[in-house]
Amino acid sequence: MKILKFGGTSVGSIESLKALKKVVENNLLQKNKIILVVSAMGGVTNNLLKMAEEAVNGTDFSLALADLEKRHFAVVKELVPLQQQNQVITKLKLYFQELEDILQGITSLKELSIKTKDMVLSFGEKSAALMISRILGPVFENTEFLDASQIIKTDSSFGNAKVNFGQTNLLIQDYFSQHQNHLIVATGFIASDNENRITTLGRGGSDYTAAILGAALNVSQIEIWTDVNGMMTADPRRVKKAFSMEELSYTEAMELSFFGAKVIYPPTMIPAFLKKIPIVIKNTFEPDFAGTFIKHDLKPSNTTIRGISSVDHISIINIEGSGMVGKAGFSGRLFSLLSREQVNVILITQSSSEHSITFAVNPDDAVKAKVLIEQEFELELLAGKLEPVKVENNLSILAIVGENMKKTPGISGKLFYSLGRNGVNVVAIAQGSSEYNISVIIYNSDLSKALNAVHDAFFAELQKTLNVFMVGVGNIGKELLSQIKGHKDFLAKNNLINIQILGLSNSRKMLVDAEGIDLNNWQQSLEQSSAEANLEGFINQMKTLNLPNCVFIDNTASPYPSKFYKQAFEANISVVTCNKIANSAEYAQFADLKETAQKHGVDFYYETNVGAGLPIIKTLNDLMISGDKISKIEAILSGTISFIFNNFKGDANFHDVVKLAQEKGFTEPDPRDDLGGVDFMRKMLILARNAGFALEANDVKLGAIIPDAAAKAASVADFYKELQNENKYFEKLKNDAEASGKVLRYIGKLENGKVEISLQSVGADHPFYALSGSDNIIAFTTDRYNETQMVVKGPGAGAAVTAAGVFADLVKVGASKA
Ligand SMILES: NC(=O)c1ccc[n+]([C@@H]2O[C@H](COP(=O)([O-])OP(=O)(O)OC[C@H]3O[C@@H](n4cnc5c(N)ncnc54)[C@H](O)[C@@H]3O)[C@@H](O)[C@H]2O)c1
Ligand SMILES: N[C@@H](CCO)C(=O)O
Ligand code: NA
């Protein structure tokens, strides 16, 4: 035998009642013996309460009452067979007449006791159960309505009555033994006291009815039919990746729903729990969903936590002072005061110095609690033994829950790492020694970010999402987006990293879409965006969305985005860039950026600043962190210039070779930066700084490659014009070198903390002689790589290799532990 309990949303409309009927039919088809427990139609309980209040205030409740009737009659007309409709409507009319009499009584007495409220509320359950029993008549002949208030007996604490189980169990067993061949549709929530006055069972009362019946009758299963797919791993309105749990223990259900999860209210399940009756949460609107099982004997789970619960709005009250230290009775006095005055304490933490106690309450109770405490401890406050009581608002609770957490080290580490890395400030912490639950109090504005970050961190079988905002979609940026598009699925599958582009900007337009930008037509979307580019606005939107695992990518050559890196770090957003400007401006800025990123536990990756995708920064960092000392770096770090010297052969024209380099995407957006040496200078400076030298740009001795007139041309067009004029000059350079069997190379050197870059002719004996295409080469001489240098060589410019380097940096952010 099974109990099927249907909540308000499952009985709230014609559609849902049709779905309910299907569920019942399916059960009967499978020859299941079932008992139904139903709530009032969705919204009816609140309407009844409102009517009662209108009645006591002397306002007119007749419209609301008429609405209530209409709602029920509409269902009857649609779902009850025609020949029985009158009979049902007559019965319902009797109920509503009785209800009206009571409401009128309330109006004349101007008094609404909890006792009367219970009576008013009972009409919601009674009308629903009566109506549903008639809807099911055609499905099963012997369908019977049961007013369960007749067999569930309680004390007289109206509003939240205590069940007298001895008496109740006998009455239940007796009733059902006499109705063995019936399909019973019972009211939830209502009961009666010894004088047969209606009582109600408090929060989650209909679930409680199901559990009471189930336990008394020793059923094999209790099904709670609702409008969601079971219990979810986190609040699905905030965490898109939340998923339904297959099963969980009673303890876990208890912990999870203590904060948040509204699917069931587990304390009501205790009768079932004591008898080890499994409870299944099912979806009336998706009956094929298997459901979430709450039971004993669970399968071994592969996750350490079962789920994350949260309470959106709480306030905390903090009491501290010397008056509390070592005072055994202090917390007793405090908490019995709060309990006596019906202030529900959600969570408590106390420091081991006993100097302070912090507890969380509903925001509605905060002021009341403060005043109560101030009265109770007036003397201590006056004597300065307690500090003034502090209330803090706009807070939330996030709790991770799971029985597997017990005796598993590393869980709190993971929790706090993911919160910390995402810049979520933890205001207070509580963990019960049962180790089933770690709760943190955080700012409400951080709750969504925190929930998503923690969900990503613990459900490792799920992908972690990187939320990316990118400025610069030119040569490099465009290629990067195409690489991401092509490789996204692979990363999701093999590295569990899901890359979402939420923001794009070029120098004209910008586009931010919190749902993610479709990479199949990003160009069109950006072009059609109504938002003009506005970097400050872009950054603000990125910060306001406050997402976890957020990354800002700068693919521009502009100094402007780098002004925002620090703000990004401060908002716990990582930065990945191929733009060299930030790291080659003043040393103080470079140092500050590195320090800020480190302080906020986020990443700052710029591998492509030097040698594009070649592992140069990484190699240098590896040498440094392993304690090696760099004594010399020699390098060719301009892909453009390499390409030019490697192709300026035979009767090639210097101007045309430079043009070709630009067309191939090797040059900077402004090729004067390459030919004038600035780009190379920046790279040497960045290397020197990463090698530990606090150098500035003007410490670099920069030798020229091109005559001044070209280097200082007012525009790119002028620059190319100048190059045409200088062809002879370059011919001569080349011929002179060739005459002595040498080639031209633009070489940078860092030695003894000094950097110089110069144009040299080198012979075949020089390691940099044989270089082709746009190759870079870098040779590190260090304490450990002394006799033979460590050399990295390969293509050091071009959209494909550069974008790949940026991409790898991005994935590195995703691969970090939180
Ligand atoms: N070409 C290479 O091989 C290579 C290698 C390593 C690093 N890089 C670096 O890559 C960066 C980009 O080079 P590119 O060739 O793609 O440049 P590009 O001119 O093709 O593209 C630059 C993009 O940035 C946008 N942009 C510029 N200023 C902006 C602003 N203030 N706000 C928003 N968007 C802005 C432009 O609209 C454009 O979309 C440069 O910093 C360059 O040094 C290039
Ligand atoms: N313009 C640069 C790109 C790589 O940073 C070069 O030619 O080396
Ligand atoms: Na590199």
Confirm or reject: Cβ of 507 under 6 Å from ligand 1.
Answer: yes
Examine the domain organization and report whether 43 and 172 are in the same domain.
yes
Nearest ligand, CA 809: 3
Q: What is the CATH number of the domain that holds 115?
A: 3.40.1160.10
Q: Taking the C-alpha atoms of 306, 307, 311 and 312 in order, what is their torsion angle to the nearest 10 degrees?
A: 170
Which ligand sits nearest to residue 636's alpha carbon?
A: 2
Q: Is the CB of 795 under 6 A from ligand 1?
A: no
Give pLDDT tens digits for 677-707: 999 999 999 999 999 999 999 999 999 999 9
> Do residues 185 and 316 share a domain?
no
DSSP secondary-structure letter at 275?
T
Q: Which of 636, 641, 668 to mutate to test the pocket of ligand 2 (most atoms within 8 A of CB)?
A: 668
Please choose, from the candidates 704, 779, 783, the residue with its C-alpha nearest in 3D space to the C-alpha of residue 749.
Answer: 779
pLDDT at position 556 = 98
Q: Say which CATH number the domain at 746 has.
A: 3.30.360.10
Structure tokens at 283: 């979806």
How many Cβ atoms from other residues are within 10 Å of residue 62's Cβ? 11
Domain-ending residue, one of 406, 431, 458: 458
Residue 576 belongs to domain with CATH number: 3.40.50.720
Q: What's the angle, vertex CA 172, arms to CA 168 and CA 173, rounded to 5?
A: 120
CATH number of residue 404's parent domain: 3.30.2130.10
pTM assigned to the model: 0.77
- The answer to whether residues 23 and 143 belong to one domain is yes
| Ligand 3 center from residue 812 Cα (angstroms) | 14
Least confident of 458-467, 477-486, 804-813: 458-467
User: pLDDT tens, 10-28?
Assistant: 999 999 999 999 999 999 9
Nearest atom within ligand 1 for CA of residue 798: 3
232, part of any domain = no
Nearest to 235 by CA among 259, 204, 264: 259
The 10s digit of each residue's pLDDT in 411-442 is: 999 999 999 989 999 999 988 766 788 999 99
Is residue 190 in some structural domain?
yes
225/286 Cα distance (integer angstroms):
10
Ligand nearest to the CA of 642: 2
Q: Establish if 812 belongs to a structural domain.
A: yes
- Cα(614) to ligand 3 centroid in Å equals 4
Contacts of 724 (CB under 8 A, 6+ apart): 655
Q: Considering every ligand atom, which ligand is closest to the CA of 639? A: 2
Encoded tokens for 796: 């050091």
pLDDT band at 496 (very low <50, low <70, confident <90, very high): confident
Is 506 touching ligand 1 by the criterion CB < 6 Å? yes
Q: Are residues 544 and 679 in the same domain?
A: no
pLDDT at 260 over 60: no
Helix or strand (DSSP H, E) at 500: strand 497-505
Residues 376 and 473 in one domain: no
Lowest-confidence range among 258-267, 287-296, 501-510? 258-267
Q: Which residues of 397-414 are buried (b: 16+ CB within 10 A; e: fewer)?
A: bbbbbbbbbeeeeebbeb
Q: Strand runs (DSSP E) across 251-355, as ranges?
A: 279-283, 292-294, 307-320, 345-350
Buried b (16+ CB within 10 A) or exposed e, 3-36: bbbbbbbbbbeeebbebbbebbeebeeeeeebbb
The pLDDT-based confidence of 498 (bands split at 50, 70, 90) is very high
Six-digit token string for 670: 């402004």
Over 70: is that where the pLDDT of 215 sits?
A: yes
pLDDT in tens, 76-101: 999 999 999 999 999 999 999 999 99
The pLDDT of residue 354 is 63
Q: Residue 684 C-alpha to ligand 1 middle, in angstroms?
A: 20
Structural domain includes residue 268? no
Question: Quick one: 327 and 452 in the same domain?
Answer: yes
DSSP-derived letter for residue 508 is S
Q: Has residue 261 got a pLDDT over 60?
A: no
Q: Kindly give the number of the ligand 1 atom that is closest to the alpha carbon of 508.
A: 37
Q: What does the mean pLDDT of the chain come to?
A: 94
Ligand 2 pocket by Cβ (under 6 Å): 612, 638-640, 666-668, 674, 679, 796-797
Question: For residue 111, what pLDDT band results from cuts at 50, 70 and 90?
Answer: very high
CB 404 within 8 A of CB 305: yes
Instruction: Decide: 557 in ligand 1 pocket, CB within 6 A.
Output: yes
Catalytic amino acids?
Answer: 683
Is 233:245 a contact under the CB 8 Å cutoff? Answer: yes
Residue 255 covered by a domain: no
Indicate if 65 and 24 belong to the same structural domain: yes
> Which residues neighbour 422 within 8 Å (Cβ) at sequence distance 6 or greater?
449, 450, 453, 548, 549, 550, 572, 818
Query: How much is the average pLDDT of 229-258?
Result: 88
Q: Are 659 and 719 in contact (CB under 8 A)?
A: no
CA of 753 to the centre of ligand 3 (A): 21
- Distance from C-alpha of 336 to C-alpha of 306, rounded to nearest angstrom: 33
580 CB near ligand 1 (under 6 Å): yes
* CA gap 160, 107 in Å, rounded: 24
Q: Is the CB of 800 under 6 A from ligand 1?
A: no
Report whether 224 contacts 282 (CB < 8 A): yes
DSSP line for 162-199: PB-HHHHHHHHHHHHHHTTT-EEEEESSEEE-TT--EE
Q: Which of 475, 606, 607, 640 to mutate to test the pocket of ligand 2 (most atoms within 8 A of CB)?
A: 640
Residue 659 Cα to ligand 2 middle (Å): 14
| Contact in structure between 148 and 190 (CB atoms under 8 Å) | yes
* Residue 59 and residue 199 in one domain: yes
Higher pLDDT, 365 or 462: 365
Q: What is the DSSP string of 612-646?
A: TTSS-HHHHHHHHHTT--EEEEEEE--HHHHHHHH
**Dist. CA 373 → ligand 2 center (Å):** 68
State whether 167 and 208 are in the same domain: yes
**Helix or strand or coil: residue 311?**
strand
Between the CA of 78 and the centroid of ligand 1 the distance, in Å, is 66
Euclidean distance between the first and the last CA atom of the chain, given in angstroms as a whole number: 47
Number of the ligand 2 atom closest to the C-alpha atom of 609: 5
CA distances from 528 to 13, 268, 505, 531 (A): 43, 55, 12, 9
The residue nearest atom 14 of ligand 1, judged by CA position, is: 475
**Is residue 640 a contact partner of residue 674, using CB atoms and an 8 Å limit?**
yes
Is the CB of 199 within 6 Å of ligand 1?
A: no
Predicted pLDDT at 727: 87
Is residue 700 classed as helix, strand or coil in its secondary structure? Answer: strand
From CA 528, how far away is CA 532, in angstroms rounded? Answer: 10
Q: Give distance in angstroms: CA of 267 to centre of ligand 3.
A: 59
Give the per-residue pLDDT at 609: 98
Q: Answer yes or no: do 351 and 391 share one domain.
A: yes
* Of 458, 491, 511, the domain-final residue: 458
The predicted structure's pLDDT at residue 258: 64
> Residue 125: phi, psi to the nearest 5?
-70, -40
Q: What is the DSSP letter of 203?
A: T
Q: What ligand has the least distance to the C-alpha of 798?
A: 1
**Residue 607 shares a structural domain with residue 533:** yes
d(CA 5, CA 267): 16
Domain count, the chain: 4
Query: Which of 505, 512, 563, 578 has the most ligand 1 atoms within 8 A of CB, as the residue to mutate?
Result: 578
Q: What is the pLDDT of residue 706?
A: 92
Quick one: 630 and 559 in the same domain? Answer: no
Q: Which of the listed residues 554, 646, 673, 674 should we mutate to test ligand 2's pocket, taking the one with most ligand atoms within 8 A of CB?
A: 674
Residue 183 bridge partners (DSSP): 143
Residue identifier of the C-alpha nearest atom 29 of ligand 1:
507
- Distance CA(812)–CA(576), nearest Å, equals 10
**Mutation probe of ligand 2 site: the residue of 608, 643, 666 with most atoms within 8 A of C-beta:** 666
**What is the edge-to-edge ordering of all strands in the sheet holding 345-350?**
345-350, 356-361, 307-320, 390-401, 437-443, 426-431
- Ligand 1 pocket test: which of 469, 476, 774 has the largest number of ligand atoms within 8 Å of its C-beta? 476
Please report which confidence band the pLDDT of residue 256 belongs to, taking 50, 70 and 90 as the band edges. Answer: confident
Atom of ligand 1 nearest to the CA of 557: 41
Residues contacting 251, CB < 8 A, separation 6+: 403, 436
**Residue 404's pLDDT band (cuts 50, 70, 90):** confident
Quote the ligand 3 centre to 198 CA distance (angstroms): 77
Q: Tens of pLDDT along 280-311?
A: 999 999 999 999 999 988 888 778 899 999 99
Q: How far is the CA of 578 from the centre of ligand 1 (A)?
A: 8
In the reported structure, the alpha carbon of residue 503 is separated from the centroid of ligand 3 by a whole-number distance in angstroms of 25
Tell me which residue has its CA closest to atom 3 in ligand 2: 797
Structural domain of 156: 2-227
Instruction: Supply the residue whose CA is at minimum distance from atom 1 of ligand 2.
Output: 667
Question: Measured from the CA of 473, which atom of ligand 1 is nearest?
Answer: 39
Closest C-alpha residue for ligand 2 atom 2:
667
Amino acid, res. 143: T
Q: Which atom of ligand 1 is nearest to the CA of 669?
A: 19
Question: Does the beta carbon of 584 lie inside 6 Å of ligand 1?
Answer: no
Please give the average per-residue pLDDT across 467-485, as a whole number. 98
| 802 has pLDDT over 80 | yes
Work out which ligand 1 atom sits closest to the CA atom of 476: 16
- Among the bound ligands, the one closest to the CA of 611: 3
> What is the 8-class DSSP label of residue 792?
E
Q: Whose C-alpha lies nearest to ligand 1, atom 6?
A: 612
Return the structure tokens found at 643. 């390409």
Residue type, 698: N
Examine residue 603 and state whether it is found in any structural domain, yes or no: yes
CA of 742 to the centre of ligand 2 (A): 24
353 pLDDT higher than 90: no
Atom from ligand 1 closest to the CA of residue 579: 41
Ligand 3 midpoint to CA 502 (Å): 26
Mean pLDDT, residues 61-67: 96
For the chain, helix, strand, coil in percent to 5 are: 45, 20, 35
Pairing state between β 604-605 and 574-577: parallel
The DSSP call for residue 780 is: E
pLDDT given for residue 694 in this prediction: 97
- The mean per-residue pLDDT over the stretch 717-743 comes to 91
Domain boundary among 458, 491, 514: 458
Asked if the structure places residue 670 within a domain, the reply is yes
**In the chain, how long is the greatest CA-to-CA distance?**
119
Distances (CA, A) of 425 to 204, 256, 316, 428, 595: 34, 22, 15, 9, 19
Is the Cβ atom of 523 under 6 angstroms away from ligand 1?
no
Report the b/e string of 483-498 with b at 16+ CB within 10 A: bbeebbeebeeeeebb
509 close to ligand 1 (CB < 6 Angstrom): no
Work out which ligand 2 atom sits closest to the CA atom of 661.
Answer: 7
Q: Looking at ligand 1, which atom is closest to the CA of residue 561? A: 31
Task: Starting from the CA of residue 617, give the closest ligand.
Answer: 3
**pLDDT surpasses 90 at 331:** no
The whole-angstrom separation of Cα 191 and Cα 149 is 4
Residue at 731 is within a domain: yes
Share of the chain above pLDDT 70, in %: 98
Burial environment of residue 690 by CB neighbours within 10 A (0 to 12, 13 to 18, 19 or more): buried
Average pLDDT over residues 483-502: 94
